[in-house]
Every structure is written in C-alpha cells, then in structure tokens.
Amino acid sequence: MNAITTTTQRSSRFPLVFELMVWLIYVCLYKYSVFLDQGHLPNPRYEAFPWPQLIVYAIAMTLYTIPFYRYIAPRLLLAKRYISLMLAIILYFWIVLKLNNWLVTWIFQSLHTTGDLSVYYQGQHEIAAKKLRFLFGWDPNTLLTDLLAFMSVAFMRYAFENEKKKFLLEKDNLVLQLETLKSQLHPHFLFNTLNSIYGMSLIGDKEAPTQILRLSDMMRYVLYDCQHHFVPLEKDLAFIRNYVAMEKTRYPEADIDFNVKGNGNGQQVVPMLFIQFIENSFKHGAHRVTDKGYIHGSLELQEGRLHFHLVNDMLPDNLPYAAASMADPGPNRASYGGIGIQNVQKRLELFYPNRHKMTIKKEHGIYEVTVDILLSPVS
C-alpha cells in the first residue's frame, strides 16, 4: 500500500512581527535603559518607567537603521554581493550613525530648553558634535548592539524575500506544467473522442450531435477558462461530467459511475485538479479488457469543503502483450500517475496551503484516491 498525505504551512507576517519585537524589546527597553543610565537623571518618585520621553529619544536615535536593514542589506544579499555588503556596513555605520546622533541630539536639545532633560540632551549633543569631527568615535554600547539587532532583521527579511522569490518561481513553473499537462491530455482525449464521433456518424447514431456539443464545451473550457488560476466550480464540474459521459460511450458495458453532489454556489476552484485522476482511471482501468471492470467516483461540495473520491480496478500486470497493446498502446502502460499526479500535488500545496489532504492507495489491483479541500470563503 502506498499512501500520500500533504499539508503545507506558510507565514508571511513573521518578518514584520520579528521587526516589531526588535523595536519593542531592544529599542524601547534596552536602549532606553542605556540612555537612562547615561543621564543619571533624578527619580524621586521611584517610578517603574521614569522619564518615558527617553523612549521617544531612543526610537529617534535608531531610525537611521531603517534604510539599511530594509533596503540596502536585503538587496545586496539577494544580489549575492557580500563584499559590497561588508563595505556598506562599515561606511553606513561609520558615517550615517554619527550624523544621525548629531542631528537627533540637536533636535531634542532645541525642543527641551529647561529642566534635567535639557541638560542631558545638551551634553549628548556636545559629545555627538565632538565625535563628528574625529575619524573614529562611536559609542560601542549602541553601535555593536544596533548592528547585531538590525542585521538580524535584515537577514530575516532576506530569508523571507528569497523564499517568496522561490515561491513565485514555483508558481510560474506550475503554470507551465499545467499548460504542458493540457497539451498532453487533451490531444490524446480529443483523438479518441473524434474517432468515437466518427464511428457514431457512420452508423447514424442520434447521440453524435450531443457528443459534438459536449466536446465543443470542453474545448472552450480548456482554451479560455483554464487560462486563469481559479475558475467557477460549476464550470469545472461541467467539464468533468462531459468527460465522464463521453468516455462512457466508449465503454457502454463497463460499470462506470461518477456522482456530483451539491452546487458551486459561486465558489472558485483551481481548474483541472481532478481530471488527471479521472483520466488515469479510464486510461489504466481494467474495464478496457473486461466488462467486470469498474470506475466509481464522487465529488461532493458541502459547507465550503470539497471532497473528491475515486476508486477503480487496474489493468493486471500480467496482461498478455497483445491485449495490453490494445488496451493501452503507449510506452508507459504500467505507469499509473507519474508527473501528472505530482503536478496535482504541487498545485494543491501552492493554491491550498494547509487546507487540503490528498491520500492515494494502491493495493490488490485497486487504485483509490481521496482529496479533501477547504475552499476559500466566497468574497
């Protein structure tokens, strides 16, 4: 027995949460306490957070890091320009840090002209102005911690941007795979269907016009609707009904039953998710060589959940060569699924992350597929 179960989790808000936590814990608490110790400000009331204005001061003294960790560092990392990144770190924290300290202390001393804080800001501005005139002159208490704290944010943003880039590439690749899948599936189905309609027309079968209309609807769906990532569920269900109905005309004696329960109710679904399983059941099912073969399937929509189930008996592995060739003349007769099933699995991971479950069982000549999807709410 072979079983496949797939779930995927993605998070896009974590970098922002991590960044906010750095600002809250490191800037608003740690740097605030550093500046509070530097100022030796009186605290006669023994408040838990004396001189809360210093929190605003700590934030202002740290704003210079935003362009670096949000734009400069991630772009250099994405471009893999590591030497340029090292030079940027040295120059940025060498020049911009000192300019920022001078400017912020000047602003705060201008805003506070009296009181204990004015004395503190004036002293800090004098120190910043003196360090600005020297080649070297930083406060190691804040320089190293600023560098470590916000480089970690930069690396976090880079990691998630890199993951997003890979995700988009994977998405584009799956779109190409879907186009390839359509080009492989539908000519094969089209030729078989045209042969059937041709045979029906020769004997004057009254069902021939109906089959032509079904084929027209199916080709319209493939050529136009399937160009989008999502399509109305009703259209996908109509495509499946037409497909099964046309295949049943080729095997009228086989036990083929596929039920659709519920209606779309405006729901959107990724196109052609289930047709690969259905096509495989007709392509590799035992009904091709015996009237006892069967294909039983159902697709049910209930309260925003889509449940797909399909079971069929397979062509026996020991089928004589002549019979096997008549049943499936292709070179990969024994291959059930392959790239097509992998494509479905990847598309489920991409479009329904953490909202799907796919199980495939293959034992005792029976192939069974179950797919459960929690659809997005109707907007």
Predicted pLDDT at 113: 84
User: How confident is the model at residue 10, as a pLDDT?
Assistant: 44
DSSP code string of 48-84: SS--THHHHHHHHTTTTHHHIIIIIHHHHHHTT-HHH
Q: DSSP character for 22?
A: I
User: pLDDT at position 16, please?
Assistant: 87
Strands 268-269 and 305-313: unpaired
Q: What is the pLDDT along the chain (379 residues), one digit of tens a residue?
A: 333 333 333 446 888 888 999 999 999 999 998 888 888 877 656 666 788 889 999 999 999 999 999 999 988 988 889 999 999 998 898 889 889 999 999 999 999 888 888 999 999 999 888 888 776 666 676 788 898 899 999 888 888 877 777 777 777 776 666 665 555 555 666 777 788 788 888 888 888 888 888 888 888 888 788 777 788 888 888 888 888 888 888 788 888 899 888 776 778 888 888 888 888 888 888 877 777 788 999 999 888 899 999 999 887 765 543 344 434 444 344 455 556 677 788 788 878 888 999 999 988 889 999 999 998 654 4
Q: Are strands 268-269 and 231-232 parallel, antiparallel or unpaired?
A: antiparallel
User: What whole-number distance in Å separates Cα of residue 1 and Cα of residue 346?
Assistant: 22
β-pairing verdict for 366-374 and 305-313: antiparallel
Entry pTM: 0.52
- CA-to-CA distance for 12 and 160, rounded, in angstroms? 8
Question: Hey, where are the domains in the chain?
Answer: 14-162, 170-374
- pLDDT at position 24 is 94
End-to-end CA distance of the chain: 40
Q: Is 328 left (phi over 0), alpha (psi -120 to 50) or beta?
A: beta
* Separation between Cα atoms, residue 268 and residue 231, nearest integer Å: 5
CATH C-level class of 170-374: alpha beta
Residues 6 or more apart in contact with residue 15 via CB below 8 angstroms: 153, 156, 157, 160
Res 178: pLDDT: 61
β-strands 305-313, 294-302: how paired?
antiparallel
Phi/psi-derived region of residue 102, left when phi > 0, alpha when psi is between -120 and 50, beta in every other case: alpha
